Structure 1
């Protein structure tokens, strides 16, 4: 009954995630994770396809299995947020936009930085 809604949410989220690769204000990772969750509920085949994707698969598996974000993804996210904030400031964004970013971006950064980095490699 809800399958079409899960698929719509999955495809919309995936499209936004892909757009976020080239649009600096649109985050990729949360949308890809949302797409994976929606596909897991609506289409095991599409979920498996997304997990097999060379670019998104490791990110999704790391999150689904460990609630983790890789150190590289953490660094990229923090640097991107700092860059967006700096660009907004330099370009003279309205004060309310700067205030909203000054509240939301550090909170988001804190969330990202407090997530585990992934499984520890087995001891040799």
Structure 2
């Protein structure tokens, strides 16, 4: 497979030859790029946010621990990332909001965009994104990780007596 004139193996060899500091810089740049696209996606119907936030967090984990922590503690992105990082789940609310926004975008494109081929390609990409989202499992109790940790730490909770740290 060719990519911009290079074989994929040549490209991966060149990337692996970059030193640790250089890799961190590249991951950090991509983390900020994907985060910027995700922020634009929050206010732009049809541009996926979830996938770009996940990509940003992955790159930040490899390139910028400070940015990664900021993303995990963010009011909007944090719960989604914590669910994903904890057990690779996407909440039902995230799936519904993303699907509704993509549907709204397709409807608006059908009304205002005169090029049906462009509408078809964009609609197909949104359909693929939606299928990917809906095939991800949902959190067990579909609550944010902070709320579920609070519930499991409650002294009246049955699950706290069964935790491995309490078994003697």
| 1:24 to 1:73, Cα distance in 2 relative to 1, 3 A | same
Distance 2:75 2:68 in 1: 14
- Aligned equivalent of 1:22, options 43, 53, 56: 43
CA contact under 8 A between 2:47 and 2:102: conserved in structure 1? Answer: no
Counterpart check, 1:42 vs 2:72: no
Counterpart check, 1:60 vs 2:84: no
- Aligned equivalent of 2:125, options 85, 91, 104: 104
- Partner-residue secondary structure (3-state), 1:2: helix
Gaps in structure 2 of 5+ consecutive residues: 1-21, 142-147, 159-168
TM-score normalized with structure 2 length: 0.66
Report the CA distance between 1:102 and its aligned residue.
Answer: 4.1
Which residue does the alignment assign to 2:110? 89
Deviates more, 1:95-104 or 1:71-80: 95-104
Bigger Rg, which one? 2
CA RMSD of aligned residues (A): 1.9
- Partner-residue secondary structure (3-state), 2:31: helix
Distance 1:41 1:115 in 2: 23
TM-score normalized with structure 1 length: 0.87
| 1:55 to 1:9, Cα distance in 2 relative to 1, 3 A | same
CA contact under 8 A between 2:46 and 2:106: conserved in structure 1? Answer: no
Distance 1:43 1:101 in 2: 32
CA contact under 8 A between 2:83 and 2:139: conserved in structure 1? Answer: yes
Which residue does the alignment assign to 1:8? 29
